[in-house]
Chain A
């Protein structure tokens, strides 16, 4: 008598569609997925442990390396948590530039998402187009911080330096043309029969299940939950901006795709509002206990030099207590939970990475689907292993 048995297949960690070093052990019945067991940790660098041995300023460069496709969002989440702990007021210009950069980062992250997601499903042209636009965002990064990816541009209390004069024009030119490019992507995908076949009805997760498993960000909004931290628990002055929060209906990959595309258009609008609000002024809080002194003072006065030396070597002592700051990062809720014992280093720094929690839903979303649809599910969850493994 003929019998059937399932087959175990190892997918990754070196696999182009697992977006990094994700390893999935699949149990397959023919081509149908019966069980998915993700194995993570290949990129574990112990950032939480390292942070316990560094001053608050020294932790900042580590946060760039979490979600390396959206470094400024990580910086923003971390400094907001420290500023909450220290009760520092940030000048308006710094806040505005932060929001402009956070939204450009959202665009950048979503561009990589659409590029890789489309490539995984077989639409190669979109990949080339989206990476072309991402390059402009990288150039803006390089213009203001000197680095294309590990920007380390924000500081506790404001920014590391003011932006150069070309900044406004460069950003403005970019967001003028960006909606046109989004139309191009939509022209290639939204009504494309192959794209529709691959995404409609794929990776369905109901709103209730999505909340239960802890999905956040566009993945949750694709399931019809109208919740966005920027609007509902505004931070860093987001309450002064007008934007729409897109929500999906059918809880599938196609709806999550549409949600992210609308988010990109809204991001352009927020950046435009930010540029309109941008007024000259200081970019660092007047708070010498916490902030680095301006460079002119470091180079030209002994007091400034000593001040710089103190902040760089000892840092600052934070009051005893604990704070949590969650922000709407491109991939979901990114949270930093700091426990301070009154010293100059955190007693504990916990990073709540959106991708880690979102990846948990992969089994629920892909069991019963074909193996090729699992690839679409990985793409739609938009994970980055840098922040999953930390």
Chain B
């Protein structure tokens, strides 16, 4: 159960006030924390609980579905303990930025660039924040829900019913 997860126990001890939610679904534990402690939480997990590999870092756009539009997702893995943990933190559209995790893991560099490119979330303190997949002069952020699937300035495709 999520309550007995080694990381959840420690996090509850140390960051009790900042934990928004703990969920377990299909055996995977997700902890949602407040944005202002995110780097402290990640550093703590890396230093004290051996989550040494940042498997993935991405974002989800909940336009119109949640109060805070974006959710940053950090997927951690511990090579010594062979377990995973997912850390999430909400980011609002108005204050669309979050501190960078590059000083915790170098992996975060390109992954954050990708989130910046496709979602338009800015990372404070990132060493090289440029677009990575789209061209430098691209307007808009393709993975946002309000970005049209067929691209800008084009008639929506009407060939399919769904």
Contact = CB atoms under 8 A, between A and B. Distances in A.
Contacts of A314: 162
B109 interface: yes
B47 to A, nearest CB: 13
Interface residues of A, number: 43
Contacts of A324: 28, 56, 75, 84, 86
Interface in A20-60: 40-41, 44, 46, 48-50, 53, 55
A151 to B, nearest CB: 24
B151 to A, nearest CB: 9
Interface stretch (B9-17, B37-45, B91-99, B130-138): B130-138
Interface string B112-147: 001000100000000000001111000000110001
Contacts of A350: 56, 58, 73
B65 interface: yes
Interface of B: 25-26, 28, 30, 52-56, 58, 60-62, 65, 73, 75, 79, 82, 84, 86, 105-107, 109-111, 114, 118, 132-135, 142-143, 147, 149, 161-162
Contacts of A225: 79
Contact of A212 (B62, B106, B143, B149): B106
A211 B28 contact: no
Interface in A345-376: 347-348, 350, 352, 356-357, 359-360
Contact of B133 (A44, A53, A321): A44
Given A232-B82, A356-B114, 5 more contacts: A214-B106, A225-B79, A313-B161, A324-B84, A350-B73
Interface stretch (A171-179, A180-188, A334-342): A334-342
Given A53-B149, A324-B28, A41 B61 contact: no
A339 B26 contact: no
Contact of B26 (A46, A321, A326, A333): A321
